[in-house]
Structure 1
Amino acid sequence: MGKKRTVGFSRFSEVQTAWLFMAPGLVLLALFTFWPIIFSVPLAFTNYSVIGETSFVGLDNFKRALSDVDFIASIKNSLLYMIIVPFIQIISILMAILVNRNIAGIKFFRAAYYIPVVTSMVAVAIIWGWLMSSNGVLNYLLMSIGLLDEKINWLSDKDTALWALMFITLWKGLGYYMMIYLAGLQSVPNDCIEAAKIDGASNFQLITRITIPLLKPYVFLCTLISLMAAIRVFDEVFVLTSGGPGNTTLTSSVYIYQQGFEQFEFGYSSALGLIVSFIIMFFSIFIFLFNRKGGVNPY
């Protein structure tokens, strides 16, 4: 009996210790994430004023959103941004396969691929703004090999600005998803790979018929994360173009920010945020419904 009590007390102490370590983070999340989300729901049905009277307007903010040309354009751009999701997953899987090798200097390459993830978006914006300017390195290289006849300001041209931002997002996020897939690859038993090689499987067959099916839970997780990030993209757009030229790079998050913190229409901004949240929820449910069992089964 005494032994059981000791074990129970030990487990209870471990739970208390775990909550103690999580407490600072949970407090910050409650203050700066959960509370604003909860408060924004009733705020979406009001005409909120910082200095004046706040009045209940019902569904007027949502009706206004449906006829708001700029908001509709921002939603289209956010949905178009989802094009990068399959590319970022495929490339990051290939990168993870490349760095999942026991060769000299492999840790250096893993760190190098991950550097863009931890680099400040302001620093990234300065670098890519210089590279993609009309007198930048990108134009020089493309003109020197004959792919361009005249200079293009990639971030100021209506035809190229959004695609340039997508490329920057792709470049910056590859290392993050590569590390997740690398963790998944290291859990894949080598017996499966060796058996397939003995049976004469090519490298392409190893990737498509063994590696990716075993990585299916990781693919599902990364696809879900990257899809939500694509719809909510903010940093790159806000720092590099602020939604311009015109509204060709205006995304939903940037427009919500502009309405809330530049126009001070917090009620309308909250309503827009709820609409975007429902869009993200729809795509998340869609991914969950099409998810199937896969990956490594330890049993």
Structure 2
Amino acid sequence: MKFKPWTPFLFLLPGCMILGAFIFYPMLQAIWLSFTDYNMIVPAPNFVGMENYEALFQDDLFWKTLTNTLIYLVCVVPALVILPIFLAILVNQKLKGIGFFRSAYYIPVVTSWVVAGIAWEWVYAENGVMNFLLQSIGIIDDPVHWLTSTNTALFAVMAVTVWKGLGYYMVIYLAGLQAIPDDLYEAATIDGASWWQKTIRITIPMLTPSIVIVSVMSSIAAMKVFEEIYIMTGGGPLNSSKTLVFFIYQEAFDKLNMGYASAAGVVLFLITLVFSIINLLIARKKEQSVA
């Protein structure tokens, strides 16, 4: 059978059409709108050049939400990269009924954010489970206003993000763990290596590709966090938990400033792209050092 050079492109065509319609076209449209004054009321947007970006960089609320987003990134990503490794090691043991624990740890991932948010609002309530437990063991005397205090609201939501993402990234690490040859662990055991030494010298280096994937995915997820903020705090109190995506949402759909929101979206895209590239470069250096 004669090979036709354009045949592979026919297989790629459906995927390219879907990506073009739902990813690339909206992205290019958002970039164009960021240079206009489009507000969803006037049908024809007017080109205003860099005015939206100039106004954005002078907007104190934009810088506040960007700072919150970066704090979210710095706090959440390390937790979602490190903690699932040990959770995956735990559920990778060959024990009776271990499948039940794997499923149980994954339940938060498939739980609706609406359900999870309402449940955690109850946990964080003034007379909720969290305050009850902390008061019972004597850590606090008075109830903490977890979701209504400017000091704790953002960090309370971060804890829920970590809780919900642990099972998802655990599965990625679990797949990587099961690809590690048992011979390496057997040889290390013969040499007298402890569990911790085997984890540091064998498990983590062999999981480097999975760590790269988790780092990039969790970084992107942290930069575009929205659902938990919307459900649990609404960006309050006093914008203390408002993130950049929530800022974009309000500008676009509450205030109908689509051009201004598009400019903020472009900035968010560029920041996310930079962090992704940095993660990939760092991971590549680690892979080369391990090799």
Q: Is the structural similarity TM-score above 0.5?
A: yes
Deviation at 1:18, TM superposition (A): 5.9
Report if aligned partners of 1:228, 1:280 keep a CA contact under 8 Å in 2. yes
Q: Does 1:54 align with 2:45?
A: yes
- CA distance change for structure 1 residues 199 and 140 in 2, over 3 Å: closer, same or farther? same
Report if aligned partners of 1:215, 1:294 keep a CA contact under 8 Å in 2. no
Gaps of 5+ in 2: none
Output the amino acid matched with 2:182. N
Q: Which residue of 1 aligns with 2:85?
A: 93
> 257, 275, 287: which one pairs with 1:294?
287
Q: Does 1:38 align with 2:6?
A: no
SS in 2 for 1:290: helix
Query: What do the CA deviations read for 1:67-121 (whole angstroms, capped 9, x no partner)?
Result: 1111100000000001121122111000000111211111110010001001000
Output the amino acid matched with 1:74. T
Q: Which residue of 1 aligns with 2:54?
A: 63
Report if aligned partners of 2:40, 2:257 keep a CA contact under 8 Å in 1. no
SS in 1 for 2:287: coil
Aligned sequence identity (%): 44
Q: Which residue of 2 aligns with 1:280?
A: 272
Q: Which residue of 2 aligns with 1:138?
A: 130
> 230, 253, 264: which one pairs with 2:222?
230
Q: Does 1:241 align with 2:233?
A: yes
Deviation at 1:34, TM superposition (A): 2.9
- CA distance change for structure 1 residues 17 and 188 in 2, over 3 Å: closer, same or farther? farther
Q: Which residue of 1 aligns with 2:72?
A: 81
SS in 1 for 2:239: coil
Report if aligned partners of 2:149, 2:237 keep a CA contact under 8 Å in 1. yes
Deviation at 1:289, TM superposition (A): 1.9
> 206, 210, 224: which one pairs with 1:218?
210
Report if aligned partners of 1:44, 1:61 keep a CA contact under 8 Å in 2. yes
Q: Under a length normalisation based on structure 2, what TM-score does the superposition of the two structures give?
A: 0.92
The alignment's C-alpha RMSD in Å is: 2.3
SS in 1 for 2:140: coil
Report if aligned partners of 2:35, 2:51 keep a CA contact under 8 Å in 1. yes
SS in 2 for 1:91: helix
Deviation at 1:144, TM superposition (A): 1.0
Trace 1:182-221 onto structure 2 (pairs within 5 A). Answer: 182-221=174-213
- Separation in 2, partners of 1:137, 1:28: 46
SS in 1 for 2:241: coil
SS in 2 for 1:219: helix
- CA distance change for structure 1 residues 106 and 16 in 2, over 3 Å: closer, same or farther? farther
Report if aligned partners of 1:214, 1:294 keep a CA contact under 8 Å in 2. no
- CA distance change for structure 1 residues 181 and 33 in 2, over 3 Å: closer, same or farther? same
- Separation in 2, partners of 1:62, 1:181: 40
Q: Under a length normalisation based on structure 1, what TM-score does the superposition of the two structures give?
A: 0.90
Deviation at 1:293, TM superposition (A): 5.7
- CA distance change for structure 1 residues 245 and 30 in 2, over 3 Å: closer, same or farther? same
- Separation in 2, partners of 1:55, 1:62: 15
- Separation in 2, partners of 1:80, 1:28: 34
Report if aligned partners of 2:92, 2:177 keep a CA contact under 8 Å in 1. yes
**How many pairs does the alignment contain?**
287
Trace 1:83-122 onto structure 2 (pairs within 5 A). Answer: 83-122=75-114
Report if aligned partners of 1:237, 1:243 keep a CA contact under 8 Å in 2. yes
- Separation in 2, partners of 1:67, 1:182: 46
- Separation in 2, partners of 1:254, 1:50: 19
Gaps of 5+ in 1: none
Report if aligned partners of 2:226, 2:245 keep a CA contact under 8 Å in 1. yes
SS in 2 for 1:104: coil
Report if aligned partners of 1:81, 1:230 keep a CA contact under 8 Å in 2. yes
> 219, 239, 243: which one pairs with 1:251?
243
